[in-house]
Amino acid sequence: MIRTKEFVGALIVLLLLIAPTRPGAAATEDRSMYQVKQEYGKLNPNAPAELSQFAFLIGNWSFEAKVKMADGQWHPFKGTWRGRYILDGYAISDEYRMTDLSGKLIVLGLNLRAYDAIKQTWNIKWLNALTGTWMNLAPSELGEVRSDGQSMIYAFKEIDPVDSAHAYTRATYTKVSETHFTWRGEKSADGNAWSEFMVVECHRSRE
């Protein structure tokens, strides 16, 4: 039978062996949580509640895309999509990068999203990093941002319809879940008749 003094002594040795590892583990966990908060930010409780409508973009996503070319054939692409809360959680930025299957960069840019609670409207801008140009998304004359409870939809006018091969684009974010969402792009020459030209299937990346 182990005597009391021997038991206490063994217990102290065991605690001394364990103790150095626990603060390190806690520190690692704290750093991990801090990095997540720093990398993706956090919704400000004082921000308009509508901002959470695009909260599904927050995080790191990878995607497979297909684009319908002028010859009617669908061509595959791939890329990444990373969303963050910025400006103390009052806005969202999401960086979009698309390449062809060989790795050649095709699209690189950044969306900035904020909600004007006074005017009750979205302000969404697209920065094309490859050309250094800005585009206003969801203008009021094209219906602004609409939600049917399951999808987020808005339309915008292309800056250079000759280069984009169409004058208007309509974007629909749908089939949203914790691990997946679909982006559908439709094109139009007049803003009335629309046809699908691009589908992006996004999957949340494991980090």
Q: Which domain holds residue 121?
A: 41-204
Asked if residue 149 and residue 79 are part of one domain, the reply reads yes
Asked if residue 100 and residue 25 are part of one domain, the reply reads no
Residue 16 half-sphere exposure, CB side, CA atoms within 13 Å?
6
Report pLDDT for 160: 66
Distance CA 123, CA 112 (A): 8
Distance CA 102, CA 135 (A): 28
Asked if residue 167 and residue 86 are part of one domain, the reply reads yes
Using CB atoms within 10 A of its CB, is residue 156 exposed (0-12), middle (13-18) or buried (19+)? Answer: middle
Asked if residue 82 and residue 10 are part of one domain, the reply reads no
User: What does the pLDDT profile of the chain (207 residues) look like in tens digits?
Assistant: 444 444 334 333 322 332 333 334 344 344 343 344 558 999 999 999 999 999 999 999 999 999 999 899 999 999 999 999 999 999 999 999 999 999 999 999 999 999 999 999 999 999 999 999 999 999 988 999 999 888 999 999 987 654 567 899 999 999 999 999 999 999 999 888 999 999 999 999 976
* Amino acid (one-letter) located at 194: W
| pTM passes above 0.75 | yes
Asked if residue 34 and residue 77 are part of one domain, the reply reads no
Instruction: Please tell me the total count of domains within the chain.
Output: 2
Asked if residue 24 and residue 48 are part of one domain, the reply reads no
| CATH assignment at residue 86 | 2.40.128.20
Asked if residue 122 and residue 148 are part of one domain, the reply reads yes
Asked if residue 53 and residue 66 are part of one domain, the reply reads yes
Asked if residue 33 and residue 45 are part of one domain, the reply reads no
Asked if residue 20 and residue 64 are part of one domain, the reply reads no
Distance CA 4, CA 96 (A): 65
Structure tokens at 86: 């910025």
Asked if residue 171 and residue 145 are part of one domain, the reply reads yes
Asked if residue 198 and residue 157 are part of one domain, the reply reads yes
Q: Using an 8 Å Cβ cutoff, are 163 and 172 in contact? A: no
Cite the DSSP H helix spans in the chain. Answer: 4-18, 21-40, 161-164
